[in-house]
Amino acid sequence: MCLAIPGKLLSREEETGIVDLGGISQSISLIFTPEVKIGDWVIIHTGFALNIITESDARKTIELLQEVYGKE
Amino acid sequence: MAKSDLVRIKYLIEDLWQWKKPVRIMEVCGSHTMVIGKYGIRSLLPPSIELISGPGCPVCVTPASFIDALLTLKNVTIATFGDLIRVPGINGTLEQARAAGLDVRIVYSPLEALKIASTRETVFAGIGFETTIPGIAHTLLEAQRLKLHNFSVLPAFKTIPPALKALLSTDNIAIDGFILPGHVSVITGSAAYQFLVDDFHTGGVIAGFEPITLLQTIKDIISQLKRGIPMIENAYKEVVSIQGNIPAQNIIRKVLQPEDAYWRGLGKIPASGLGIKEEFAQFNAIRKYDLQITETEMPSGCRCGDVLKGFIKPPQCPLFATTCHPAHPLGPCMVSSEGSCAAYYKYER
Ligand code: SF4
């Protein structure tokens, strides 16, 4: 249950951001990644961005997660 | 899979098969347990390298008395992560209680529980390791800022480094190296594990989740053993830093403090939990409802404790796949899909 999944930050208002999670928009807290900018990729856990990652790492992770957890 | 990946896998496996001395490597992350099972990584390794699944799943190590404490609550709404809903206490599961009329709501984020609390008395089931804890601590701060009087958290937070320390201090334990968790370490940073080397002369590598990365990680641990120089290495630098997430660590320190905690299967581990500070006592469900979380006896015959310490493999438990299986878990290691016994049941039977 400690899994964090990548999403792309679409917009932000102070400490709240909207991310794109595979086509679904989700509101998240940016309290732990105050430096994040619109267009950045973050890894998200229970509605909180935990760190900023590169787009290529994000895409690799999404693919892997779909494989490991997707077809349950 | 790219040809270059196949070549690398072949090279890694050939290299690992050169290793002849028996060693035991433990992973302490439920997602690693899943990837190891799903990709059959054990079957690629020589008999000399044994992988054991330690206490890597917060759901599995949450004591039954935590669930039972939630089940005693009357006239409240219980907000919980979905992972917890099927976990058995002695007196049943939250799912069963919901069917019998208890208002149990699954939330994705602890902040959603605050919304529920704006209209009704709400208790949030606070479980998790370092990855999850900061978000819940922040939620407590928000509850204070919003002056919410009908919100509280039942804390059963657990932290990984003290658990590793307790494992390595166990008599007759034989762990030669750790595959260290990816997303827990995003918060703690790699420096949090240096004590493994300094105090226990045991190394570890923080790993991501790709099967190739895990093979590479195992090779890195073997290389440390070959050289006889244990160290903490970070093979997940794209996400994990040395110092970890400082804002998250600060929020934890502000709201929570270390306390002894009960781990299902491992018993009481000193300073391995985080309790709510006195300053925030009004949001502490233990205080608000006079609840108790105690050590729970393991179901008779369940050997989950021995599984988590690597003394036995899940199939060596006489109840494995006979009376204990994922649809009807008897012991904690079978309750979540990331539990050691559940992963074995699914992938390695
Ligand atoms: S198979 Fe079930 S009863 Fe046996 S150790 Fe695992 S969880 Fe416990």
In terms of CA atoms, which chain A residue is nearest residue B181? A2
The closest of B122, B172, B168 to B143, measured between CA atoms, is: B122
Domain boundaries, chain B: 22-58+161-234, 60-159+246-289, 304-347
Measured from the CB, is residue B67 less than 6 Å from ligand 1?
Answer: no
Asked if residue B201 has pLDDT above 90, the reply is yes
Which residues in chain B have their CB less than 8 angstroms from residue A62's CB? none
Task: Please work out whether the CB of residue B302 comes within 6 Å of at least one atom of ligand 1.
Answer: yes
Chain B positions in Cβ-Cβ contact with residue A60 (cut-off 8 Å): 210
ipTM entry: 0.93
Q: Is B317 in the pocket of ligand 1 (CB under 6 A)?
A: yes
Span B112-162, pLDDT tens digits: 999 999 999 999 999 999 999 999 999 999 999 999 999 999 999 999 999
CA B40 to chain CA centroid, Å, is 21
Q: How would DSSP label each residue in B68-117?
A: HHHHT--S-EEEE-GGGTT--BTTB-HHHHHHTT-EEEE-SSHHHHHHHH
pLDDT of residue A72: 44
Which of B334, B337, B345, B346 for mutating ligand 1's site (highest number of atoms within 8 Å of CB)? B334
User: With contact defined as beta carbons under 8 Å apart, do B37 and B346 qualify?
Assistant: yes
| Atom from ligand 1 closest to the CA of residue B340 | 6
Handedness of CA A53, A59, A62, A67 (dihedral sign): negative
C-alpha–C-alpha distance, residues B259 and B286, integer Å:
14
Could you tell me if B239 lies within 8 Å of chain A, comparing CB atoms? yes
Confidence of residue A61 (pLDDT cuts 50, 70, 90): confident
Equal fold, B22-58+161-234 vs B60-159+246-289: yes
At residue B121, the pLDDT reads 96
Find out whether B124 and B110 touch, Cβ atoms under 8 Å.
Answer: yes
pLDDT band at residue B247 using 50, 70 and 90 as cut-offs? very high
Give the per-residue pLDDT at A29. 97
Query: How many angstroms from the chain centroid is the CA of residue B133?
Result: 12
Tokens 């919901």 belong to which residue?
A: B98
d(CA B254, CA B247): 11
CATH number, domain at A59? 2.30.30.140
For residue A2, what pLDDT is reported? 76
**A8 CB near a chain B CB, below 8 Å?**
no
Question: Per-residue pLDDT averaged across A51-66, rounded?
Answer: 89
- Give the residues across from B328 on adjacent strands: B325
What angle do helix axes B246-255 and B133-145 make, rounded to 10 degrees?
60
Query: B154 CB near a chain A CB, below 8 Å?
Result: no
For residue B22, is pLDDT > 50?
yes
User: What is the mean pLDDT of the segment spanning B18-41?
Assistant: 93
- Report how many domains make up chain A: 1
Mean pLDDT of A44-60: 93
For A3-27, write each residue's pLDDT tens digit: 889 999 999 999 999 999 888 999 9
Q: What is the pLDDT of residue A67?
A: 81
Residue A71 has pLDDT above 60, yes or no: no
pLDDT of residue A69: 74
Residue B272 pLDDT greater than 70, yes or no:
yes
B76 CB contacts (<8 Å, ≥6 apart)? B103, B120, B121, B122, B123
User: Are A68 and B35 a contacting pair at CB < 8 A?
Assistant: yes
Atom of ligand 1 nearest to the CA of B299: 3
Residue B194 belongs to what H/E stretch?
helix B194-200
- pTM score above 0.80: yes
Quote the CA–CA distance of A52 and A29 in Å, as a whole number: 13
pLDDT of residue A34: 95
Task: Look up the domain containing A47 and give its range.
Answer: 5-69
Q: Is the pLDDT of residue B27 over 90?
A: yes
Q: How confident is the model at residue B91 (pLDDT cuts 50, 70, 90)?
A: confident
Residue B203 has pLDDT above 50, yes or no: yes
Burial-class residue A25 by CB neighbours within 10 Å (0-12, 13-18, 19+): exposed
Please tell me the residue having the least CA distance from ligand 1 atom 3: B302
Q: What is the mean pLDDT of chain B?
A: 93
Mean pLDDT confidence for B9-30 = 94
The superfamily CATH assigns to domain B60-159+246-289 is HypD, alpha/beta domain 2 (3.40.50.11740)
pLDDT tens string B43-90: 999 999 999 999 888 888 888 899 999 999 989 999 999 988 888 888
Q: Is the model's pLDDT at B233 over the cut of 80?
A: yes
pLDDT tens by residue, B276-328: 999 999 999 999 999 988 877 777 888 988 998 888 999 999 999 999 999 88
Architecture of the domain made up of B22-58+161-234: 3-Layer(aba) Sandwich (3.40)
Nearest one of B55, B109, B112, B79 to B262, comparing CA atoms: B55
The Cα–Cα gap between B260 and B186 comes to 23
Buried b (16+ CB within 10 A) or exposed e, B13-46: eeebeebeeebebbbbbbbbbbbbbbbebeebbe
Work out the pLDDT band at B349, boundaries 50, 70, 90. Answer: confident
- Least CA distance to A49: which residue of chain B? B135
Cβ of B37 closer than 6 Å to ligand 1, yes or no, is: no
